Amino acid sequence: MAGIGGRGFDFRFNERELDDLLRGPDGPVARDLARRGEIVTQGAKRRAPTSRRGSGGRGSGYLRSKIGWQLGHDEIGLYVDIASPARTRYGAPYGLFCEVGTRPHVIRPRTPGGWLRWVDSSGKVRFAKEVHHPGTRAQPHLRPALDDLRGA
């Protein structure tokens, strides 16, 4: 093979080293994804809604404390997953409800014939057979945090 200045050269492609470089958990691509994952995570935590009293039986800052990132690998390559796995005490996706809001809905006791009980904003204990919840407005915190990557 002719090279520069008439000299020959031998080019060997080391696929394993390239794979480590591009897809390895310690390579530069993984480090860059980790850096970007942390930027988005911190942006989402800054934007996450909080309540002084907490919400749904959870303490103040519960949603914020659950937001995080994780490096993953699939058949295409590396990726970073930023998630808010916070759940209500009944297992519903609290982070998703905050992100996109909820429609008006009826809340009923889990046991038939039971009662709902909650403490209102004045501290008074309330009871009802069902509650017509007006829904909640969206409070996006994950999607807007992606904008923090501009120029990163």
* 77 backbone φψ class: left, alpha, beta (φ>0; ψ -120 to 50): left
Tens of pLDDT, residue by residue over 41-64, are 999 999 999 888 777 677 889 999
For the chain, the straight-line distance linking the first and the last C-alpha, in angstroms and rounded, comes to 42
Q: What residue numbers bound the domain in which 19 lies? A: 13-101+139-152
SS3 of residue 41 by DSSP: helix
User: Is residue 76 domain-shared with residue 128, that is, in the same domain?
Assistant: no
Which candidate, 66, 90, 76, places its Cα nearest to that of 142?
A: 66
Residues 6+ apart with CB under 8 A from 142: 40, 44, 67, 82, 84, 95, 99
User: Is residue 43 domain-shared with residue 81, that is, in the same domain?
Assistant: yes
User: Is residue 57 domain-shared with residue 79, that is, in the same domain?
Assistant: yes
Range in 19-23, 65-69, 82-86 the model is least confident about: 19-23
User: Is residue 126 domain-shared with residue 56, that is, in the same domain?
Assistant: no
User: Is residue 26 domain-shared with residue 76, that is, in the same domain?
Assistant: yes
Q: What is the pTM of this model?
A: 0.74
Q: Is residue 4 part of a domain?
A: no
User: Is residue 129 domain-shared with residue 85, that is, in the same domain?
Assistant: no
Interior angle at CA 77, CA 151 and CA 87, nearest 5? 75
Looking at the structure of the chain, the number of domains it has is 2
Q: Is residue 85 part of a domain?
A: yes
pLDDT given for residue 4 in this prediction: 58
Which candidate, 65, 73, 37, places its Cα nearest to that of 152?
A: 37
User: Is residue 67 domain-shared with residue 125, that is, in the same domain?
Assistant: no
Q: Is residue 86 part of a domain?
A: yes
Encoded tokens for 94: 């609290």
SS3 of residue 43 by DSSP: helix
The answer to whether 63 and 96 are in contact (CB under 8 A) is no
User: Is residue 111 domain-shared with residue 63, that is, in the same domain?
Assistant: no
User: Is residue 65 domain-shared with residue 115, that is, in the same domain?
Assistant: no
The answer to whether 133 and 75 are in contact (CB under 8 A) is no
Burial class of residue 11 (count of CB atoms within 10 Å of its CB; 0-12, 13-18, 19+): exposed
Which pLDDT band holds residue 110 (cuts at 50, 70, 90)?
confident
User: Is residue 82 domain-shared with residue 122, that is, in the same domain?
Assistant: no
User: Is residue 18 domain-shared with residue 68, that is, in the same domain?
Assistant: yes
Tens of pLDDT, residue by residue over 119-149, are 888 889 999 999 999 999 999 999 999 999 9
